Structure 1
Amino acid sequence: MSAETIIARGAMVYASALGAQTAQALAAIDRLLAMAGTDKSKLLTAKVRLADMSLLETHTAEWREWLERHKAPLLSVVRADLPRPEMRVEIMVTAIK
């Protein structure tokens, strides 16, 4: 980890459908990465927390569409109790510049 580690918090979105919630979260990640001077092509890791693993296929479809042709980062997906009942997904990424 370099001295240029950037932590961005507060990009919360709560669309009703998981696909829309995932798409909104990924759009927020794009914006935050751009603010940090990087992009999804430089992702190292991604940690996804899903409120319901039966939604994994829907999430994965959005994830793959967003990632496009870029190399996939090391990915972990787990079921988790999220802080708010309307939250269906939480995504945390690490990228380099």
Structure 2
Amino acid sequence: MSIERIDPGPRMSQVVIHGDTVYLAGQVADDATLPAEGQMEQVLANIDRLLKKAGTDKSKLLSATVYVTDMAGDFESINKVWDAWIDRTNPPARAAVQAQLASKKWLVEVVAVAAR
């Protein structure tokens, strides 16, 4: 079975497709000066864009892991954005974890897997 890589870089690919499974690299906001809610909106827009490049969409998400730097302060606002974005007929399995991200400027990161 072939492996397809979309937007490969020196360290990672943004998307890896194996068979009919689409793996997304962790997505962070383009504008890290935004509050958590704004960062989450950008993260989800990036996920939509990458899923489209891979020939799929959020209705086919299988799982998502949401990494949040401040669960007590930002979890509610991040969930508000998620709830407005997600396909409620086809929600993925999801976990949310408080974590220190690669850069202190990022408040949220999402890793996702989808079917094609």
| TM-score (normalised: structure 1) | 0.88
Relative to structure 1, is the Cα distance of residues 72 and 88 closer, same or farther in structure 2, using a 3 angstrom cutoff? same
- Say whether 1:92 aligns with 2:108: no
**Can you list the C-alpha shifts for 1:29-59, whole angstroms capped at 9, x where unaligned?**
0000000000000000000000000211000
> Which residues in structure 2 correspond to 1:35-54 (within 5 Å)?
35-54=53-72
Q: Which residue of 1 aligns with 2:4?
A: none
RMSD between superposed Cα atoms in Å: 2.0
- Say whether 1:71 aligns with 2:73: no
| Letter of the structure 2 residue corresponding to residue 80 of structure 1 | A
SS in 2 for 1:92: strand
Q: For structure 1, which segment, 66-75 or 81-90, has the greater mean C-alpha deviation from structure 2 after superposition? A: 66-75
Q: Which residue of 2 aligns with 1:22?
A: 40
Q: Which has the higher helix share?
A: 1
- Quick check: which has more Rg, 1 or 2? 2
Relative to structure 1, is the Cα distance of residues 45 and 89 closer, same or farther in structure 2, using a 3 angstrom cutoff? same
| Letter of the structure 2 residue corresponding to residue 45 of structure 1 | S
Indicate the structure whose relative CO is greater, using CA pairs within 8 Å and at least 6 residues apart. 1
Q: Which has the higher strand share?
A: 2
| TM-score (normalised: structure 2) | 0.75
| Letter of the structure 2 residue corresponding to residue 22 of structure 1 | M
Identical-pair percentage? 36
Structure 2 unaligned runs (5+)? 1-16
